[in-house]
Structure 1
Amino acid sequence: MHNKTVIKSSVIIIILTILGKIMAFVRDILIASEFGKTYTTDIYISSLRVVMLLTTIGYGLTTTLIPMHTDNIEKKSVEERNIFVSNLLNTSGLITIVFIFISIIISPYIFKIFTPGYAGKPEVFYKAVHILRIMFVSLIFVAIQSIITGVLQAHKEFAEPAAMAFAQNIIMVIYLIVLSNVYGMNGFAVATVTGFAAQLLINIPKFKKLGYRYIFVVNFKDKDILKLLKLMFPVIISTSIIQINLCISNSFATTVYEGASTVLDFSNKLNMIVYEVFAVAISMVIYPTLATYVAQKNSVEYKNSLIKAFNVILLIMVPASIGVLILREPIVSVIFEKGKFDKDAVKLTATALMFYTPAMIAYGVRDILYKAFYSIKDTRVPMINSILAILLNIILSFVLVKNMEVSGLALASSISTVITTLILIFILNNRLKGINLKYLIKSFFKIGISSLVMGGVIINIRNLCFLKLGINFLGNIVTIIISFVVGVIVYFVCVYLLKVEEYIYMVELVRKKIGKNKS
C-alpha cells in the first residue's frame, strides 16, 4: 500500500471514527445527566470494564489473524479460505458460549476480584452482579465480529470495522433518550449487548461481498487453528494492556468514594478521544502495510513507513495533549456538567484528566510499536513489556492512591505507560539495527516546540475569555472554540516553518489534489 493510499484510507477511517466518537460523547453526556456521579453509574462502568477486558481476547484474535490470513489470500484458494474462516467461526463460537455460561455462574466471584470496594455494600454488589450477567452475552457477538473484522482488514477493507463504534453508540443513545426513564440501568445493559450485536451485523455484507460463505465445519485439531491459538496468547496479553490497567485502576477506585469509578472513566475517555480517532486509525492502516513489506523482505520501505507512522502520530498527539491539558476544565464542564453531574464532579474529573494527558502520546506511539513487532512475527517482546507495564501500574497505584485518590490512579497509569513505551522503542531500534532514532528525536523536538508555542497562545486566550465572559457555559464554549481555531493555525504555521517533513508532505498532497480537481 503506497503512502497516498495509506493517507486516503486513514482519512476515511478517521471520519468514521469521529462520527463514532461523537455518538460516544452524546452517550456519555446522557449517562452523566441521567445517572450522575453515583453507584448506579459506577456499577455500569465496572461491569463494562470487566466485559471490555474480555473483549481484548477478540482484539488479540483479530490482530493475530490479519498477517496469517494475508498469507492465505496470497497462497490459498477461495474454498480453502472459506473452510478455514468457517472453522474458526464455529470453534470460537462454541468456546465462547461455554465461557459465557461459566462466567454467568461465577459472576459474584469475578466482581469480588474486580470491585473490592463493593463487597461491604450488599445492595450495590448484587445489582452489579445482575448487570454483569446481562452484559456477558456481548461476548458471543464480539468473538464472531473479531474474526470477520480480521478477514476484512486482511483484504485491506477498513471502512466497516471503523464504522462499528457508530453503529453501537447510536443504539445506546436511542435507548438513553427514549427508554432510560422506564427501564433504567437494567435496560441500558441490554442496549449495550444490542450495540455489540450491531457491530457484528455492520461487517457481514462486505464479508459476503468478498466471496466468503458459511460452511458448517468444526475441527479443533486443524493445524492453522492451532497455530493461530499459539500466536494469539502473547498478543492478547499485549493488546489487553489498556483494559487491564483500567481494570486495575477501577479496582482501586471502588475503595475511594462513591462516583470514583465514574470520575476515572470519564477523564480517561476524554484523554483517549484523540488517540482513538487518529492513532488507532493510523495503526490499523499501517499494520497490513508493514506485514506486506516483511513478506516482500523490503526493509528500507518497512523502516520508512514505520518512521512516517511515528511522526504522524507525534504530529497529532503532542499538540492534542497540551491543548487538553490547558483546557481540561472547560472541556469537562461543557460535555458533562448537566443534570446529576455537578461542579464537584467536573473538578474531580478535570484534575484526573490532567494526570492522564502524558499517556495520550505514549498510547499512540505504543500502538505503532506493537504493530511493528507483530509484523515481524515477534509477540514475545510486546507481551513481556505489557506485563511490566501492568506490574508498574499496580505498584504505583498502590502508592499514589493513598494521598492523591483518583488523580493518583491516573498518574500511575501515565507513568507506567510512558516508561514501558520508551523501553519498547529502544528494543525495536536494536532489533531492526536502527530505525533512524536521530530523525525521530529531531521531529519530536520540532513538534514539541510548535506545541509549546501553541500552548502559550491558548493560555492567553483562555485567560482573556474567562476575564471577559466569566467561567460559565458560554465562556467555556467560546474559550474552547477560539482556542482550537487559533491554536491549530499557530501550531501548523510553526511546524511548517520548522520544516516537519510529514506535515509538508501532507500539505503538498492536498495541494496536488485540489489542483487536480480544479483542472
Structure 2
Amino acid sequence: MSKVAKTTVLIMVLTIFSKVLGLVREQVLALSYGTGMYADVYVTAMKIPTILFTALGASIATSLIPVYSKVREEKGLDKSQKFLSNLINIVSIIALVMVVFGMIFTEPLVKVFAFGFEGEKLAITINFVRIILWAVIFIGLNNIITSYLQLNNNFKIPALTGIPYNIIVIISIIISIKTNVYVLIIGSLLALASQVLFQIPAVKKTGLKHSFKVDLKDEDVRYLIILVIPVLIGGGVEQINTLIDGSLASTFGDGVVSAFNYANKLYGFVSAIFVVSILSVVYPMMAKSLASEDEASFKLSIKKTMNIIIIFIIPICVGTMVLAQPIVRVLFERGKFNYSDTIMTANILIVYIIGILAFSLRNLVSKAFYSLHDTKTPMITGSIAIVFNIVLNFILSKYMGYIGLAIATTISAFIGLIISLICLRKKIGGFGMKNILITLIKSTVAACVMGVFTYISYNKLQVIFGAVLMHDVISLGGAIFVGVCIYSIAILLLKVDELDIVLGIVKKRLK
C-alpha cells in the first residue's frame, strides 16, 4: 500500500478513536441535559467562538499551506519559519481584539446566533459566552499549529487533539451536574486550550524558533491576508449555514437548537472520519505538487480523492437514512433525552446526511482552488450557496417547520457543489468527471441495494431480539454488518474504480 494510503489509514483510525470519544461526550451531555434549556444555552454559547473564529482560523490555516510551501521552496526554511512566527503573533492580536469586542457587545452577539432566546435563557447564554469567548485565541492558534505540523508530515498529533478535549469536557459535564452549570462552560474553555498545549511538544521537535516580532509589512503575510478574505467567505459556508440554522431554530422553542446540535455531531462524526482524514493528507500534497509544477499529479489526486470519498460516503448516507431513528435512540435516548427528542433529532439527521456528499466534494474542490492560489472562485460559489440557503430557510421553515431548515441547507449544498465543479473544469480542464459520475452511479446503485437489505435485516432482528437497549444495539449492529457485506459485494460486482485503494486500506487494517 502507498505511503499516502498508509497515512490516511492512520489518520482515520486516530480520528475514529477521537470521534467515538466525542460521541461519548454527546451521550453524557444528552443524558445530563437532554434537549432542555441548559443544553440549548450551552450549544449556542459554544457555537459563537467556534463560528466567529473557526471560519477565520481555518481560512488562515488553509491559505497557510500553499503560501508556506511556496516561501519554503523559494526563500528557504529560515524565512518560512520567521513568516510563521509573525503570522502566529498577528493572529493572536486579532483574536484578542475579537474577545474585547465580544465582551462589550455580548448581548447583540447572542441575539444574532439565537434571536429567539429571552429572559433567563438569554441571561445565562450571555454569561456563558463571556467565559467561552477567550477560546477564540486557542482556536486560532490550534488551526495554525495543526497546518504547520501537517506540512511537516506530522498527521498523528493533530488527529489526537480531540482526545484531551473530549475527556476534559466529559469530566466538566459530570461535575457540573453535581455542582454548578457554569463548570460546564469553564471546563469547555480549558478543553479548547488543551488542544494547543497538546501540540506544542511536537512543534518544538520541528526546530521552530518562535519570535514575538510583529511585521505587518512582510510581503508573504500580506499575500496570505489577500488570500484569506475570499477563503473566509468561501470556506466558512458550513459555519454560516450552521449559524443561520441555529438562529432560526431558536424560534421553534426549547429543544430544537440542541436537536440540531446532536444531528450535526453525528454528521460531523462521519465527515471527520472519512472526509477530513483524507483531505488532511491530500491537500498538502496537492499544494506541493503545484509548487513543483506537476499538474498531471494534481488532476489525478482530485479524481482519485473524489472517487474514494464517493465510495465511502454514499453507503453511509443511505445506511444512516434507513437507520436514523435506531441510531439516535441507541446513542442518546436515556436520562433527560426522551422519545420525542429522538424523533426530532432523527428527522434532522436524515435530511442533513444527504448533504454530506455535497459538502465533502465541495470541500475537496475548494482545496483544489486554494492549491492553485485561487481563493476568489470558492468565495463566489460559497456566497451563492449561502444566499440560496438563507432564501430557502425562510421559505421552507414557514411551511415545514424546523425540518425545512435542514432541507434548505442540503439543497444549497448541492447547488454550491455543481457550480464549483463547473468552475474547476473551466480552470484546469478535464480531470475525469465522466469517470467520477460512473463511480457515483455505481456506488449509489450498490448503496440502494444495501439499504433495502439493511432495513429488512433490522426489522427482522427487532422481532427476534425486541426493543430493549442492549437488544436494540445487537439489532442495529447486525443490520449494519449485513449492510457492509451487501455493499462490499455489490461494488465488487460493479467493478467500481479506486476500489483497489479502498481494499488496500481494509487489508492493511486486517493484517
- How would you bin the TM-score normalised by the shorter chain? over 0.9
Cross-structure match for 1:106: 105
Alignment deviations for residues 386-410 of structure 1 (CA, whole Å, 9 cap, x no partner): 1111111111111111232221111
Query: Which residue pairs with 1:281 in the alignment?
Result: 277
**Gap change, CA 1:504 and 1:83, over 3 Å in 2:** closer
Gap change, CA 1:510 and 1:404, over 3 Å in 2 = closer
Letter in 1 for 2:341: A
1:14 is aligned to 12
Q: Is residue 23–residue 173 contact of structure 1 (8 Å, CA) maintained in 2?
A: no
1:139-192 alpha-carbon deviations (Å, 9 max, x no partner): 1111222222222122222111111222211111122234432122x1111111
Aligned to 2:248: 252
CA distance in 1, matches of 2:58, 2:380: 18
Corresponding residue SS for 2:66:
helix
Deviation at 1:81, TM superposition (A): 2.8
Is 1:134 the counterpart of 2:135 in the alignment?
no
**1:38 alignment partner in structure 2:** 36
Check conservation: 2:308, 2:502, Cα contact below 8 A. Answer: no
Match of 1:116, SS state, is coil
* Pick aligned residue for 2:199 from 197, 203, 216: 203
Q: Report if the CA contact (8 A) 1:318-1:361 is conserved.
A: yes
Q: Which runs of 5+ in 1 are unaligned?
A: none
Cα deviations by residue, 1:405-438 (Å, 9 ceiling, x for unpaired): 2211111111110121122112212221111111
User: Is the contact between residue 132 and residue 189 of structure 2 (CA under 8 Å) also seen in structure 1?
Assistant: yes
- Extract unaligned runs of 5+ from structure 2: none
Structure 2 partner of 1:116: 115
Among residues 384, 407, 413, which one is paired with 2:409 in the alignment?
Answer: 413
How much has 1:276 moved relative to structure 2? Answer: 1.4
Q: Distance in 2 between matches of 1:509 and 1:23?
A: 23
Contact 1:267 1:353 survives alignment (8 Å):
yes
Percent sequence identity is 31
C-alpha separation in 2, matches of 1:59 and 1:67: 14
How far apart, in 2, do the equivalents of 1:112 and 1:70 lie?
41
Residue identity opposite 1:201 in structure 2: L
1:451 aligns with 2:422: no
Matches within 5 A, 1:322-401: 322-401=318-397
Whole-Å Cα distance in 1 between the matches of residues 62 and 505 of structure 2? 30
User: 1:12-37: CA deviations, max 9, x gaps?
Assistant: 11111111111111111111111111
Aligned residue for 2:482? 486
Instruction: Confirm or deny: 8 A CA contact 2:60 2:228 kept in the other structure.
Output: yes
Structure 1 CA distance for aligned equivalents of residues 473 and 390 of structure 2: 37
Q: Secondary structure at the match of 2:251?
A: coil
**Aligned partners of 2:197 and 2:137: how far apart in 1?**
13
CA distance in 1, matches of 2:405, 2:220: 41
Q: How far apart in 2 are the matches of 1:159 and 1:454?
A: 33
Query: Is 1:165–2:145 an aligned residue pair?
Result: no
Q: Are the counterparts in 1 of residues 450 and 486 from structure 2 also a CA contact under 8 Å?
A: yes
Q: Partner amino acid for 1:48?
A: M
Aligned to 2:436: 440
Q: Which residue of 1 aligns with 2:83?
A: 84
Asked whether the 8 Å contact 1:267–1:350 carries over to 2, the reply is: yes
- SS at 1:501's partner residue? coil
2:46 to 27, 39, 48: 48
In the alignment, residue 269 of structure 1 is paired with which amino acid?
K
1:129 positional shift: 0.5
1:501 maps onto 2:492 in alignment: no
Secondary structure, counterpart of 2:223 in structure 1: helix
Letter in 2 for 1:147: I
Is the counterpart of residue 70 in structure 1 residue 69 in structure 2?
A: yes
Separation of aligned partners in 1, 2:390 and 2:61: 28
Say whether the 8 Å CA contact 1:86–1:216 is kept in structure 2.
yes
Give the conservation status (yes or no) of the 8 Å contact 2:352–2:409: yes
Q: Distance in 2 between the 1:496 and 1:144 partners?
A: 44
1:29 corresponds in structure 2 to 27
In structure 1, give the amino acid aligned to 2:22: A
Q: CA shift at 1:469, angstroms?
A: 2.7
Give the corresponding residue for 2:142.
145
Cα separation, 2, equivalents of 1:33 and 1:509: 36
1:466 matched residue in structure 2: 462
Q: State which drifts further: 254-263 or 425-434.
A: 425-434
Distance in 1, Cα, partners of 2:423 & 2:126:
42
User: Do the aligned residues in 2 keep the contact of 1:116 with 1:254 (CA within 8 Å)?
Assistant: yes
Asked if 2 retains the 8 angstrom alpha-carbon contact of 1:35 and 1:340, the reply is yes
- CA RMSD in angstroms comes to 1.7
Question: 1:16 touches 1:166 (CA, 8 Å); kept in 2?
Answer: no
Q: Judge conservation of contact 1:264–1:406 (CA < 8 Å) in 2.
A: no
**2: distance between equivalents of 1:505 and 1:232?**
34
Q: Secondary structure at the match of 1:500?
A: coil
Per-residue CA deviation, residues 185-236 of structure 1 (Å, 9 max, x unaligned), is x111111111111111121111111110222211122212111111111111
By how many angstroms is 1:368 displaced? 0.8
SS at match of 1:440: helix
Does residue 1:156 correspond to 2:153, yes or no? yes
> Is 1:183 matched with 2:180?
yes
Paired letter, 2:15: T
Give, in whole Å, the separation in 2 of the partners of 1:159 and 1:506: 20
Partner amino acid for 2:26? Answer: D
Secondary structure class of the residue paired with 1:278: helix
Q: CA deviation at 1:255?
A: 0.5
* 8 A Cα contact 1:496 1:504, kept in partner: no
> TM-score w.r.t. structure 1 length?
0.95
The alpha carbon displacement at 1:514 in A equals: 9.4
- TM-score when normalising by structure 2: 0.96
For residues 99 and 476 of structure 1, what CA distance do their matches in structure 2 show? 47
AA at the equivalent of 2:115 = P
Distance 1:362 1:244 in 2: 16
Q: Distance in 2 between matches of 1:455 and 1:340?
A: 31
Q: CA deviation at 1:334?
A: 0.6
Aligned-residue offset at 1:90: 1.6
Aligned length: 510
C-alpha distance in structure 2 between counterparts of 1:433 and 1:218, whole Å: 41
Question: How is 1:263-274 mapped onto 2 (pairs within 5 angstroms)?
Answer: 263-274=259-270
- Asked if 1:427 is matched to 2:452, the reply is no
Residues 247-306 of structure 1: CA deviation (Å, up to 9, x unaligned): 100111111111110111111222232111110111111111111221222222211111
Q: Secondary structure at the match of 2:2?
A: helix
* Separation in 2, partners of 1:9, 1:179: 39
Contact 2:351 / 2:410 at 8 angstroms: preserved in 1?
yes
Shift of 1:509: 6.8
Range with greater deviation from structure 2 (148-157 or 195-204)? 148-157
2:95 alignment partner AA: T
Supply the AA of the counterpart residue of 2:180.
Y
| 8 Å Cα contact 1:47/1:131 also seen in 2 | yes
Conserved? CA contact 1:117–1:255, under 8 Å: yes
Q: Is the 8 A contact 1:331 1:476 kept in 2?
A: no
Does the 8 Å contact 2:289/2:297 carry over to 1? Answer: yes
Whole-angstrom distance in 2 between the partners of 1:58 and 1:463: 45
1:467 to 1:311, Cα distance in 2 relative to 1, 3 A: same
